[in-house]
Structure 1
Amino acid sequence: MFKRRTLTTALAAATLLVATSSFAQFAERTIKFTNGVNEDHPVGLGVKKMQEVLNAKTGGKIKINAFWGGAAGGDLPATQALRAGTQEMVCTSSSPLVGIVKELGAFDLPFLFANEKEADAVLDGPAGAYFNKKLEAVGLINLAYWENGFRNLTNSKRPVNKAEDFDGIKLRVMQNNIFLDTFKTLGTNAVPMAFGEVFTALETRTIDGQENPFVTIETSKFNEVQKYLSVTRHAYTPFLILYSKKLWDQLNPQEQAVLREAAMEGQKVERAANRALNEKSLVSLKAKGMMVNDISPAEQRRMFEKVKPVYDRSIPAIGNEAVSTVLDALKKARGG
C-alpha cells in the first residue's frame, strides 16, 4: 500500500513538473487591451478567442485585460501610449492612424474593394505586410488585420440609386480629408462631426444623413431618425490589432509567436462574426421600417468614375508606393 501511494504521488509530481516545465518559457503577464467598441461587438468575440488560445498555449500565464467602449480613452491616445511603451495593445481602425502612418490612407480611398474576399486577399498578403513594416517603423507591431467592414449611406431625403442622388445631401462624415473630398466630389454637403453628436444632429435635421456599417447603424438606432438606407459599400476599413514595439521587444520569441497565433485565431472568429452580424443587422433594419435599396453594378461604376479624381488628389498625401501596392494586390486578387 505504501509503495502504491508513493508511486501515485511520484506520478502526480512528475505530471505537474511536465505541465509546469512546458509553460516555463512564458512569464506571468497581464496585457492591457483597449478599444472603442462595446464587448458585444464582434471584436469582443475575437478577444475571447485570443484569451482561449493564450490559456491553452501558456497555461494561463498570459492574460488580456480588456477595456471596452473607450473606457480607457480614445484609440489615438491609446496608440500613442503604445508608441511610448506605457500600454501593450489596442484595437483601432486604420483611419485614425493616418496621422501617424500616412500610407494607411490608402484604405480610405472610395470604392476600393468590391467585397470582403478582395479585402482579405489584400490585407493578408504582401500588401498587408508592407503596411506592417510602416507601422513597425513608428513603434507599432500589427499582429493581425480584423474587420470594421463596409460603410453604407443613410439619409432622410431620398434613396440614393445613382450618382446624381448624392446632390445636396448634408452628410456627416469623419474628420478625414479623403472622406471629405469623396463626398464633396459626389455632390454632398459634407460636414465633419464627432460621432457622439450624430444622432441628435439627424434628429433635429441639422444634417440629412451619415455613413457607417450596418451594425453601427442599428446599434446607434439611426433607423429611428433616418428613412433611407442605400447599400453603397463606398469604403471598407480594417481593424488593426496593435502591440507596443517597445514592449514587444521585451518578449521572448515564444511569447511573440503565441501572441501572433492568438491574434490570427481571433481574426477568423471576429471576421466571421462581423459578417454574420452585418447581414443580421441589415435584415433587422428592414424589419424596423428603413427603406433599403441596392445599387446596380453599372451605377457603382459610375460612382467610381466620378470619384476617380480623389485618387489623384490623395496620392501626394498617401504616397504613390502605398497606393500602387494596394492597387497591384487588388489586381492580382481579381485575377489580373
Structure 2
Amino acid sequence: MKLSRCFTALAAAAALTAACASAQAREYSVSTVLSDAFPWGQAAQKWADLVNERSEGRITLRVYPNAQLVTGDQTKEFSAMRSGLIDMAVGSTINWSPQVPELNLFSLPFLMNDNADLDAITQGEAGKLAFAAIEKRGIVPLAWGENGFRQLSNSAKPVRAPADLKGLKIRVVGSPLFQDTFTALGANPTQMSWADAKPALTTGAVDGQENPLSVFDVARIDQAGQKYLTQWNYMADPLIFAVNQRIWKELPEADRELLAQAARDAGEWEVALSREAEVKRLADIRERGVELIELNDAERQAFVDATRSVHEKWAPRIGKELMEAAQSAIAQP
C-alpha cells in the first residue's frame, strides 16, 4: 500500500510539473524581411500583439525585422526556420521559393490580373496545395498575408512595351525565375539584396527595380532617381505566417489554435490594410513627380506574349496539379 501511495504521489507530482510547464511564459522569435514601417512588418507585429493579448502574456512573439536573423539574406529564412534557428516567420513566397519550388507559382509573370485572381488561388485548392508543399518540408503554414502586386520603376524612360526594357539594368531578387522573366523581356536583370538595391539605384549602377507600391512609397524610391513607374501587376507576392514543425508539435492543442487563429486574423487585417492604402499611395507618388504609366489591355498582352517561354520552362517545376488548380481558380467567373 505504501508503495502504491508512493507511485500515486509521484504521478501527481509529475502531472503538476507538466501543468506548470505548460502554463509557463514562452517566447518565440519571428523573422520578417521588412520593418513595421511597411504592411509586411505590421503583419508580423499584429500577429505578435494578438498572441500576447489572447494568451494574457503567456506567449510572446518577438519580431526581428530586416531579415536580421539571417544577416540580411532573406532567401535563407526558410532554411533557418526549418533548422530551428528561427521559430516562426511571416515570409514571402519569393524568398521561400528556392526551398519550396511550388511557390514559384506566384512569381510566374502575368499569371494573375488582379486581387480577385490572387484570392481565388490562395483561398482555394491551389492555396491548400501550396501549404501542403511547405508542410512537407518541415514548416507549418498557418495563414496568408500580402506584400502586393509588384510594379516596375526606372530612371530612364516610360516602359509601355517589352522593347522599352531592352538593355535596362533591372535589380531583381535572388530567384532564377526573375532572371528568366527579365531576360525574356530584353532587360539586363541584376541580382542583389534589398539592402544593396537603393544605393545602386542612387548611383545609377542599375536603372530600375520591381517592388510593390508600399515598398516604392515608404522607402522613397523616387529619391533614388526612379522617375517612371509602370503599373503592370506582373506578379503578386503573398506572405505566409508559419511555424517550425518541431515547435508546433510541442505546443498544446489550445496554443496551436490560438497561434493559428491570431495568424489568420492578422493576415486578414493586413491584406485589407495594404489594399485600402494603395489609392493614397498612388496619389502621393504622383505628387512627388513620378510619371505613372498604366497599361491598356493590348499593351499588357504584349508582355504576356513575351514571357510565355518562362511559363513553359517553370510550369513543370511548379507541378501539374498545382498549375491546373491555379488556372482553374482564375478561370472561374
Band of TM-score, shorter chain? 0.7 to 0.9
How far is the alpha carbon of 1:100 from its aligned partner?
Answer: 1.3
Structure 2 gap segments, 5+ residues each: 1-20
- Separation in structure 2 between the aligned mates of residue 303 and residue 86 of structure 1, nearest angstrom: 41
* Partners of 1:93 and 1:237 within 8 A in 2: yes
2:239 counterpart of 1:242: no
Q: 1:82 to 1:303 in 2, by over 3 A?
A: same
Partner of 1:322: 322
2:282 counterpart of 1:279: no
1:1-336 alignment to 2 at 5 Å?
28-73=25-70, 74-224=73-223, 225-332=225-332, 335=333
> What amino acid sits opposite 2:25 in the alignment?
E
- Separation in structure 2 between the aligned mates of residue 155 and residue 44 of structure 1, nearest angstrom: 25
- Separation in structure 2 between the aligned mates of residue 310 and residue 246 of structure 1, nearest angstrom: 36
Corresponding residue SS for 2:293? strand
- Separation in structure 1 between the aligned mates of residue 258 and residue 285 of structure 2, nearest angstrom: 39
> What amino acid sits opposite 1:67 in the alignment?
Y
Q: 1:290 to 1:183 in 2, by over 3 A?
A: same
Q: Summarize deviations over 1:279-324 as a string: whole Å, max 9, x none.
A: 3322211111111111112211221122112100112332333322
- Separation in structure 1 between the aligned mates of residue 273 and residue 157 of structure 2, nearest angstrom: 31
Q: 1:49 to 1:35 in 2, by over 3 A?
A: closer
How far is the alpha carbon of 1:51 from its aligned partner?
Answer: 3.7
Superposed structure 1 runs of 4+ greater than 3 Å apart? 24-27, 74-78
How far is the alpha carbon of 1:264 from its aligned partner?
Answer: 0.5
How far is the alpha carbon of 1:248 from its aligned partner?
Answer: 0.3
Q: Summarize deviations over 1:53-75 as a string: whole Å, max 9, x none.
A: 33453233222111122233344
> What amino acid sits opposite 1:83 in the alignment?
R
* Partners of 1:89 and 1:244 within 8 A in 2: yes
Q: Summarize deviations over 1:142-182 as a string: whole Å, max 9, x none.
A: 11110011111111221112333222322222221111111
When normalised by structure 1's length, the TM-score is 0.86
Q: 1:197 to 1:54 in 2, by over 3 A?
A: closer
Q: 1:312 to 1:31 in 2, by over 3 A?
A: same
Partner of 1:11: none
* Partners of 1:26 and 1:62 within 8 A in 2: no
Aligned residues: 311
Q: Summarize deviations over 1:107-142 as a string: whole Å, max 9, x none.
A: 110012111122122112221111111111110011
> What amino acid sits opposite 1:250 in the alignment?
E
> What amino acid sits opposite 2:31 in the alignment?
T
When normalised by structure 2's length, the TM-score is 0.86
Q: 1:329 to 1:86 in 2, by over 3 A?
A: same
- Separation in structure 2 between the aligned mates of residue 155 and residue 41 of structure 1, nearest angstrom: 21
Corresponding residue SS for 2:99? coil
How far is the alpha carbon of 1:32 from its aligned partner?
Answer: 1.2
Aligned-residue sequence identity (percent) comes to 28
Structure 1 gap segments, 5+ residues each: 1-23
Partner of 1:6: none
- Separation in structure 1 between the aligned mates of residue 132 and residue 162 of structure 2, nearest angstrom: 37
* Partners of 1:155 and 1:227 within 8 A in 2: yes
- Separation in structure 2 between the aligned mates of residue 76 and residue 301 of structure 1, nearest angstrom: 31
- Separation in structure 2 between the aligned mates of residue 148 and residue 272 of structure 1, nearest angstrom: 11
How far is the alpha carbon of 1:52 from its aligned partner?
Answer: 4.3
Q: 1:212 to 1:161 in 2, by over 3 A?
A: same
- Separation in structure 1 between the aligned mates of residue 221 and residue 56 of structure 2, nearest angstrom: 44
